[in-house]
Amino acid sequence: MTMVVCGLYTIRSRLARRRESRHPKTPFSALSRHRRFRLYRDQIVESFKGHDAEYIEIRLEDSQSTRIQYRGRELEDISQPISAGGCVRALVKGGWGFVSFNDLDDLRGKVELAVRQARLVGKDASSFASMAPAVDFVEEVTQKDPSSLALAEKKHLLDEYNEVIWGVPKIETSIIAYRDTLRKVVFANSEGSYIEQKNSDLALRVAAVARDGGDIQQVGLSVGSRGDFTGVESLHEQVKETAQRAVDLLAAPHAKSGEYCVVLDPVLAGVFTHEAFGHLSEADFTYENERLKEIMVLGRRFGGEHLNIVDGAAVPNLRGSYRYDDEGAPATRTYLIKEGVLVGRLHSRETAAKMGEPITGNARALDYHHPPIVRMTNTFIEPQGITFEEMIGDIEEGIYAKNWYGGTTSMEMFTFSAGEAYMIRHGRLAELLRPVVLTGNIFTTLQNIDAIGNDLGMNQGGGCGKGGQSPLPVSNGSPHIRIQHCLVGGK
């Protein structure tokens, strides 16, 4: 059981596969492996031959990370884990076999096991969208690659942030968690695809805890980037504000529970987009569920004409960006909602074939211990023309909710929790409130968005959890939005 559950969006559905995975979580490894992978290419191609399966794929992965974690002034963890492993997936008559391993010897034996498993499962016809094979070598280059920096330099920055927190009076303690991961993945399939991708992801969470007797308040700041260390630099001012807010919360009142007109900042509106609509757009929930297919029929109206929602790994330089997904399908940019109407959804090759819709390149795996499943990448609401002042100007009593603790969805109903909230009174921001949990219903809440701002911002902190695969790097974003009749938990 995790100690503090925050900073993660989780999906409440799919209980059957939500169980915490028990295997090591360490990811990462040495660059010299590059050459070793080349040698594997012949073995991979050889291992595909002579099996009675419709489709086979292999992923081999090598990764190295840096983890630095402070609890208060105590450096709790500083380490550079490495990890190497792989997996094989095979398809026979609609059934899947999947084998994962750390021991990279005897690939052929592992392919045989996966095929044998698939044969045990498969009884119907397979649906698997066809796709041209790709051969490619992708190495992402960033402005400031964390793997080129000395451990001391990373630690120094975190020391500075920690000092900033401790410099704020009445702070009880701090929690700082930094992680970067350089990952190299080789993908090959029995159709002739061979793709090597090298990229990195980094994430930082800084939290401050303030205390007054038994009353404890925590405020966090989560940031991240697609392998660019500058994404976590120069946050001193924000860290200071975060710590100050933790102290201020001790004197803040609770919101009164009930329905409010709420305005969300771009960060929380991004989490809202992810929970309220993103997960429901993932076709693996829909493709074998006839009732849900009727509800999620393309052309159905979910919001006003001002509402446009996009997801796409092809949107560059964000934490959910990539060239190919974990089935070797090229990344795209997909409109989910255009002018308020459902126009698209996110697919793997299997769900695309079953629903007769185009592949979108959204099949993603957390690591080699997991098969790819349909996931979001970078999900956002497109900006319109309203300013923040216009948005709050005519609100007699409402709540301005910012920042996030997390979010969860069960498809129809969802929650998203704000790390920071203020009352809005007579068109102006008023007193600070304690953190609030907001809840919505897919069939009403999107319709209740009555204003979309002009200030798109992307949230790069946190990660997404689904089917036991967590945290997967994603980003989400939005301009400021206003929602009428939003249910808020409070006192």
User: Which one of residues 35, 50, 74, 132 is an interface residue with another protein (CB under 8 A)?
Assistant: 74
User: Which one of residues 97, 463, 465, 477 is an interface residue with another protein (CB under 8 A)?
Assistant: 97
Q: CA 206, CA 220: separation in Å to the nearest integer?
A: 6
- Binding map of another protein across residues 116-155, x = CB under 8 A, - = no contact: -xx-xx-x---------------------------xx--x
Task: For residue 245, give the H/E element and its range.
Answer: helix 236-249
What lies within 8 Å, CB to CB, of 63 at 6+ separation is 27, 28, 29, 82, 83, 84, 181, 182, 183, 184, 367
Identity of the residue numbered 373: I
CB contact at 8 A, 260 and 332: no
Query: Does residue 403 belong to the site contacting another protein (CB under 8 A)?
Result: no
Q: CA 123, CA 113: separation in Å to the nearest integer?
A: 18
Query: Does residue 102 belong to the site contacting another protein (CB under 8 A)?
Result: yes
Q: Where are the alpha helices (DSSP H) in 303-393?
A: 349-355, 388-393
Query: Does residue 84 belong to the site contacting another protein (CB under 8 A)?
Result: yes
Cα 314 to its chain centre, rounded Å, is 15
Please choose, out of 99-107, 138-146, 227-235, 389-397, the segment that lies near another protein by the rule CB under 8 A: 99-107
Query: Does residue 3 belong to the site contacting another protein (CB under 8 A)?
Result: yes
CB of 315 to another protein, least distance (A): 26
Of 106, 14, 92, 5, nearest in space to 53 by CA: 92
Site for another protein in 164-203 (CB under 8 A): 172-173
Q: Which is nearer to another protein, 395 or 442 (CB)?
A: 442
Q: Which is nearer to another protein, 95 or 304 (CB)?
A: 95
Q: Which is nearer to another protein, 54 or 140 (CB)?
A: 54
Cα torsion through 485, 428, 7, 453, rounded to 10: 70
Q: CA 257, CA 261: separation in Å to the nearest integer?
A: 13
Question: Over the range 445-463, which residues count as b (16 or more CB within 10 Å of their CB) and which as e?
Answer: bbbbbebbbeebbbbbbbb
Q: Which is nearer to another protein, 313 or 421 (CB)?
A: 421
Q: CA 431, CA 428: separation in Å to the nearest integer?
A: 10
Query: Does residue 414 belong to the site contacting another protein (CB under 8 A)?
Result: yes
Q: Which is nearer to another protein, 165 or 386 (CB)?
A: 165
CB of 342 to another protein, least distance (A): 14
User: Which one of residues 131, 149, 252, 295 is an interface residue with another protein (CB under 8 A)?
Assistant: 295
Q: Which two tokens stand for residue 85?
A: 């492993």
User: Which one of residues 35, 39, 103, 132 is an interface residue with another protein (CB under 8 A)?
Assistant: 103
What lies within 8 Å, CB to CB, of 399 at 6+ separation is 255, 260, 261, 262, 263, 421, 422, 423, 424, 433, 436, 488
Query: Does residue 406 belong to the site contacting another protein (CB under 8 A)?
Result: yes
CB of 406 to another protein, least distance (A): 3
Which residues is 413 bridged to in the sheet?
Answer: 441
CB of 88 to another protein, least distance (A): 10
CB contact at 8 A, 83 and 69: no
Query: Does residue 476 belong to the site contacting another protein (CB under 8 A)?
Result: no
* Count of residues touching another protein (by CB under 8 A): 97
Please choose, out of 46-54, 69-77, 177-185, 341-349, the segment that lies near another protein by the rule CB under 8 A: 69-77
Backbone φ/ψ region at 334: left (φ over 0), alpha (ψ -120 to 50), beta: beta
Q: Which is nearer to another protein, 145 or 172 (CB)?
A: 172
Query: Does residue 215 belong to the site contacting another protein (CB under 8 A)?
Result: yes
Please choose, out of 188-196, 326-334, 356-364, 429-437, the segment that lies near another protein by the rule CB under 8 A: 429-437
Q: Which is nearer to another protein, 19 or 237 (CB)?
A: 19
- Tokens 């698997």 sit at which residue? 128
Query: Does residue 46 belong to the site contacting another protein (CB under 8 A)?
Result: no
Query: Does residue 491 belong to the site contacting another protein (CB under 8 A)?
Result: yes
CB of 304 to another protein, least distance (A): 18
Of 328, 441, 310, nearest in space to 378 by CA: 310
Q: CA 464, CA 373: separation in Å to the nearest integer?
A: 13
Site for another protein in 232-271 (CB under 8 A): 257-259
> What are the counts of helices (DSSP H) followed by strands (DSSP E) for the chain?
9, 28
Of 188, 197, 193, nearest in space to 89 by CA: 188
Site for another protein in 360-389 (CB under 8 A): 369, 371
Query: Does residue 35 belong to the site contacting another protein (CB under 8 A)?
Result: no
CB of 118 to another protein, least distance (A): 7
User: Which one of residues 34, 41, 211, 338 is an interface residue with another protein (CB under 8 A)?
Assistant: 211
Neighbours of 464 (CB within 10 A): 28
- Binding map of another protein across residues 9-28, x = CB under 8 A, - = no contact: ---xxxxxx-xxxxxxxx--
Query: Does residue 299 belong to the site contacting another protein (CB under 8 A)?
Result: no
User: Which one of residues 46, 77, 397, 455 is an interface residue with another protein (CB under 8 A)?
Assistant: 77
Query: Does residue 216 belong to the site contacting another protein (CB under 8 A)?
Result: yes
